[in-house]
């Protein structure tokens, strides 16, 4: 992903948060992570996030999804003696369609990204509206997509080790590679 794309996505993310009364410092705005997953289709499969704190005990983040943007299917595996990340998603604005392991929902509301259909395998739908939350246990495959207006999700979790996430799609690069313009 090009540096100019990252800067534009960071600004858009900061603006969305500000419009929803979530204020970031200038330092935090500069630390907004733009996860394009190496797929070169940020608007379709991507995620913007700011990590407030990540210690050996807990983590707090704000996740921003642009309209119909999808965070691809993945799981949080055990690392050493740690069973893997437990995370609670709390919807702050918009609508989030979260998919986890379990009985498939017959008529899902998300739009599986074209060309990546084979990499989406879990379809038990949980719809989150503002004020609603759901906790994902370690090792559970999941993916999520915002509705037509985009979404903001607060994530509260055990320690986050994103570099160890296991994605169903082998093309995904979790840690961003930024190219200078």
pLDDT tens figures, 1-36? 899 999 999 999 999 999 999 999 999 999 999 999
Going by C-beta distance under 8 Å and a sequence separation of 6 or more, which residues neighbour residue 127? 95, 96, 97, 98, 109
Position 178 pLDDT exceeds 90: no
Assign 7 to helix, strand or coil. Answer: helix
pLDDT of residue 176: 72
- Helix, strand, coil in percent for the chain, rounding step 5: 15, 40, 45
Count Cβ atoms within 10 A of the Cβ of residue 133 and give its class: 0-12 exposed, 13-18 middle, 19 or more buried. middle
3-167 in CATH: which number?
2.60.120.10
Comparing CA positions, the residue from 65, 71, 83, 38 lying closest to residue 177 is 38
The tens digit of pLDDT for each residue in 74-96 reads: 999 999 999 999 999 999 999 99
Tell me which residue of 161, 166, 152, 154 sits closest to 12, measured CA to CA. Answer: 152
User: Cα separation of 107 and 61, whole Å?
Assistant: 30
Q: What is the mean pLDDT of residues 38-47?
A: 96
All structural domains of the chain with their residue ranges: 3-167
Cα distance between residue 174 and residue 50, in whole Å: 15
């Amino acid at each position: 992903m090009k540096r100019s794309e990252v800067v534009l996505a960071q600004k858009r993310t900061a603006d969305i948060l500000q419009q929803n009364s979530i204020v970031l410092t200038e330092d935090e705005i500069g630390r907004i992570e733009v996860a394009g997953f190496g797929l070169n289709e940020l608007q379709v499969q991507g995620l913007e996030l700011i990590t407030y704190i990540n210690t050996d005990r807990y983590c707090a983040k704000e996740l921003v999804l642009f309209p119909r943007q999808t965070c691809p299917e993945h799981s949080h595996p055990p690392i050493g003696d740690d069973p893997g990340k437990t995370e609670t998603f709390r919807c702050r604005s918009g609508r989030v369609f979260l998919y986890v392991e379990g009985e498939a929902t017959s008529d899902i509301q998300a739009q599986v990204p074209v060309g990546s259909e084979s990499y989406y395998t879990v379809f038990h739908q949980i719809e989150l509206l503002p004020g609603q939350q759901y906790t994902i246990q370690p090792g559970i495959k999941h993916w999520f997509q915002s509705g037509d207006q985009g979404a903001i999700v607060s994530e509260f979790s055990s320690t986050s080790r994103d570099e160890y996430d296991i994605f169903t799609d082998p093309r995904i690069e979790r840690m961003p590679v930024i190219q200078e313009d």
